[in-house]
Structure 1
Amino acid sequence: MRGSLLKEIEGIKPEFMDVQPEGFNNTIHWHLGHVLTAAENFLLKSNSELPANYSQLFGYGSKPSDWTGDVPSVEVLKQQLQEQLGRLLEIPEERLTEKTAKPFNGMETVGEFINFVVLHEANHIGQIHAMKLFIQSTN
């Protein structure tokens, strides 16, 4: 799914990354940070390599219009998404049935959280795709 996300944003003009089309809640830039931050928080929290302010910038309910301070560029986020994929793929298979310390939305095991993260990422790829088409058609 991560490969699909990175492929979806290939060729998008840099000036389109921060456009928030009418009817959409965020920007493509925000979606990239959100996917990165969500995967980190759900699966890699104890070994997080992301700056502390990412949850404020990209967490649930956040929006670009509220951004202040140091906001990572799209290029930085793309690099972090690629690096994170390596760390996600290192989660050993034997951890899939391991119970998590904090269940969420009925999910209790690492495997269930991995499934959620993949589904979550697919949803945001769809949003990015729709935004990309809309932005390109109006510019």
Structure 2
Amino acid sequence: MSNYLFTQLRFVRGNTLKLVEGLSDEQSEIIPEGFNNNIKWNLGHIYNILERNAFYFAKEEWVMPEMFPSLFNPGTKPENGQKMPVRLSEIRNLLEGQIDRIEATFSGRLKEKTAEDYTTSQGLYMSTVEEFLSCNLYHEGMHLDRIKVLKKLSSTAANQGMKE
């Protein structure tokens, strides 16, 4: 039987993926004025952080493309006007399979202590698998909202560019 936390993770991830359906690489790389990142960066960051929180701290095998930390770790940002060296489809594929891998690895293990504990930049202390995964609901939801804003602003900017 699946734990409700996995249902919540799937729900949030489904909403994230639905929001970016049909976006092109070019659309995902638009950085609106006043922002320091784009939709593609937010998606890669979502993947990067959950992969780290789910697998790294529990010392389980993780799937982290070599360039992802330098592109998507906290504090990184894409260079405006430069194409990112990862395709949107690659990030989507990783996001689509991530929750299944997490559930396959941690089903029945949510209360386990992780090999390493961690305190977020906001002061939240985490030391169990469940705590790390639960934190992602907030994290991905926050970035989902940012993606909504970026998508709206990017569409507006693209439409204005077509009128000029």
> What is the TM-score normalised by the length of structure 2?
0.77
Say whether 1:20 aligns with 2:34.
no
For residues 121 and 52 of structure 1, what CA distance do their matches in structure 2 show? Answer: 22
What is the aligned residue count?
A: 137
* Structure with max Cα Rg: 2
Cα distance, 1:15 vs structure 2 = 2.1
Q: Which of 117, 133, 137 does residue 152 from structure 2 map onto?
A: 133
Q: Given residue 154 of structure 2, which amino acid in structure 1 is its aligned partner?
A: I
Q: Deviations over 1:49-84 (max 9, x none)?
A: 222321111111111119x9x822001110111121
For residues 57 and 8 of structure 1, what CA distance do their matches in structure 2 show? Answer: 22
Q: Which of 65, 83, 86 does residue 72 from structure 1 map onto?
A: 86
For residues 15 and 55 of structure 1, what CA distance do their matches in structure 2 show? Answer: 22
Whether the aligned pair in 2 keeps the contact of 1:99 and 1:108 (CA below 8 Å) is yes
> What is the TM-score normalised by the length of structure 1?
0.89
For residues 97 and 85 of structure 1, what CA distance do their matches in structure 2 show? Answer: 18
For residues 82 and 61 of structure 1, what CA distance do their matches in structure 2 show? Answer: 25
Greater shift, 102-111 or 43-52, is seen at 43-52
Identity, in percent, stands at 32
Q: Given residue 81 of structure 1, which amino acid in structure 2 is its aligned partner?
A: L
Cα distance, 1:116 vs structure 2 = 0.7
3-state SS of paired residue (1:56): helix
For residues 50 and 41 of structure 2, what CA distance do their matches in structure 1 show? Answer: 14
Greater shift, 84-93 or 97-106, is seen at 84-93
Whether the aligned pair in 2 keeps the contact of 1:12 and 1:132 (CA below 8 Å) is no
Q: Given residue 71 of structure 2, which amino acid in structure 1 is its aligned partner?
A: L
1:10 is aligned to: 21
For residues 127 and 50 of structure 1, what CA distance do their matches in structure 2 show? Answer: 23
Q: Given residue 83 of structure 1, which amino acid in structure 2 is its aligned partner?
A: G
3-state SS of paired residue (1:104): strand
Q: CA RMSD in A?
A: 1.9
Unaligned stretches of 5+ residues in structure 1: none
Greater shift, 57-66 or 88-97, is seen at 88-97
